[in-house]
Amino acid sequence: MLKEEPRWHAALAVVAILALYATLPPRIIVGPFWLLPLLVLAILVPLLILAPTRHRESEWARTASVAHIALLGAFNVATIGLFLVQLLSPHPHRVFTGEQLLLAAVQIWLTNLLIYSLWFWEIDGGGPKARCSPDFVDNPELGDFMFSQSLLDPELRAKLNWRPRFIDYLFLGFTNATAFSPTDTFPLTPLGKTLMMAEALTSLVTIAIVAGRAINILGS
């Protein structure tokens, strides 16, 4: 019998995202630094109290779960856009020092990794609740991603009582953000492929443009 999937491990990733966002340089924070934490925690805290597990969640809990990740993603895209505008100014070294720019690039890269890990966890196979169903357990190809463990013999997989959890999606997000391609986990659906392309693109922009400019300033 499959255990219920808790929400707290993904909530830790959300808290890390908020900490990274709140400590960014003020010039690239969208609105007051407390705005995003306030909006996200207003959704997340009730979820942790009223729906701490994902096995038997209601429709409102599912909607709220998607909404707070979408909110994080929207602010992250806006932050990256604002950052690029600052970098394209005639004298970016007057806006940021090389050290500030490099640190901000690392923060944005980590934020991007965590947000897409949350997206992968939330959408794969219809969400954590759907992944607890016998249909998904017996037919892992119904998901948006194919993990290497899914290719094991069904009897062995049943003995291991394995199904993807947040750590698996965090690993997927990390490898996609560093290798810019699948490693041991492959996207099966258009939605999964689109999310992986979006993460790889934003990671590439952060590394190639932002970190590259930071190194250029440090070397000048």
The answer as to whether 1 is a domain residue is no
User: What is the per-residue pLDDT across 180-204, written as a single tens digit (0 to 9) for each?
Assistant: 777 788 899 999 999 999 999 988 8
| Domains identified in the chain, total number | 1
The answer as to whether 141 is a domain residue is yes
User: What is the per-residue pLDDT across 77-100, written as a single tens digit (0 to 9) for each?
Assistant: 999 888 888 777 666 556 677 777
The answer as to whether 2 is a domain residue is no
The answer as to whether 129 is a domain residue is yes
Q: How sure is the predictor about 121, in pLDDT bands with cuts at 50, 70 and 90?
A: very high
* pTM of the model as a whole: 0.87
Q: Which long-range contacts (CB under 8 A, 24 or more apart) does 171-177 make?
A: 172/117, 172/120, 172/145, 173/113, 173/114, 173/116, 173/117, 173/120, 173/199, 174/113, 174/117, 176/116, 176/200, 176/203, 177/109, 177/112, 177/113, 177/116, 177/203
- State the residue range of the domain holding 23: 8-219
The answer as to whether 214 is a domain residue is yes
Higher pLDDT, 206 or 122: 122
The answer as to whether 191 is a domain residue is yes
The answer as to whether 73 is a domain residue is yes
Span 68-79, mean pLDDT?
93
Point out the least confidently predicted range of 6-10, 128-132, 207-211.
207-211
The answer as to whether 67 is a domain residue is yes
User: What is the per-residue pLDDT across 8-57, written as a single tens digit (0 to 9) for each?
Assistant: 999 999 999 999 999 988 888 888 889 999 999 999 999 999 988 887 77
Q: How far is CA 114 from the centre of its chain?
A: 3
